[in-house]
Amino acid sequence: MAEDKILDRLLPGRRAALKREILEHALACFNELGIEATTIDAVKTRCGTSVGAIYHHFGNKEGILSTLFFIAQDDQRAQLKAVLQKANTLQDAVYIMVRSYVDWVTDHPDWARFLFQARSAVAKGPHRQQLEERNVENYRDLKDRLFSLDRGPHEIIQSSELLPSLIIGPSENLCRAWLSGRIQVSPSEYRDQLAESAWRAIQRSQ
């Protein structure tokens, strides 16, 4: 399963076996019951461990939450960064970004669902500063990359704040709808349309 692969990659080894178990089952609980409704006892029972073990590894409920959150975000960002290396033009980059985003969500729907749900909790919790730092770094990197690429003859939207929203916004919105069950057909079906549309969206009028 895709979930296990993410955890195995970031927490390898036999030593971290229980830690992985806890994270895996906590993720499932958060997604099935909601973050506030999942109790420590529920994840304890679910992986047949003890509260002591959970608190030893994560400190508190928020610790589990933010660990999962940063793992997911790291994985998503790493994949984007890797494929974005190959882009030669801005148009390449836009297509790659959209496809990478849609692929990641459809490859890891449980992680993606969690990422959407947990963001606001992490943003308010004790790791908000860490989240903020990562965000500014990620967006700075992305902006630098986008502005370093060849734009060809095209007239592109100037604002660096607008650009990411125009490129990813529609895909994100559609993925949310899919993950919540509001729409049935997978966003991957719309991958190319989303990419083409994003490219049109960032052109300047006239």
- The yes or no reply on residue 45 touching DNA (CB under 7 A) is no
**Chosen from DNA, its own copies, none, partner binding at 50 (C-beta under 5 to 8 Å by type):** DNA
- The yes or no reply on residue 86 touching DNA (CB under 7 A) is no
d(CA 46, CA 62): 18
**Chosen from DNA, its own copies, none, partner binding at 152 (C-beta under 5 to 8 Å by type):** none
**Chosen from DNA, its own copies, none, partner binding at 159 (C-beta under 5 to 8 Å by type):** its own copies
CA distances from 62 to 88, 112, 123, 126 (A): 41, 18, 11, 8
Q: Which is nearer to DNA, 21 or 103 (CB)?
A: 21
Applying CB under 8 A, the residues found at the interface with its own copies are 33-37, 116-117, 120-121, 123-125, 132, 135-136, 139, 157, 159, 161-162, 164-166, 168-174, 177, 180, 182-183, 185, 190, 193-194, 196-198, 200-203, 205
> Could you tell me the two tokens for 23?
């994270």
Q: Which is nearer to DNA, 61 or 113 (CB)?
A: 61
- The yes or no reply on residue 40 touching DNA (CB under 7 A) is yes
d(CA 119, CA 56): 24
CA distances from 68 to 5, 20, 27, 180, 196 (A): 14, 10, 7, 19, 32
Amino acid identity of residue 148, one-letter, is S
Which part of the chain contacts DNA (CB under 7 A), choosing from 53-61, 69-77, 145-153, 162-170?
A: 53-61
Query: Which of 2, 4, 12, 59 forms a contact with DNA (CB under 7 A)?
Result: 59
Q: Which is nearer to DNA, 2 or 17 (CB)?
A: 17
Question: What would the DSSP string read from start to end of 159-186?
Answer: -TTHHHHHHHHHHHHHHHHHHTTS--S-
Number of C-alpha atoms within 13 angstroms, CB side, residue 85?
Answer: 6
- The yes or no reply on residue 49 touching DNA (CB under 7 A) is yes
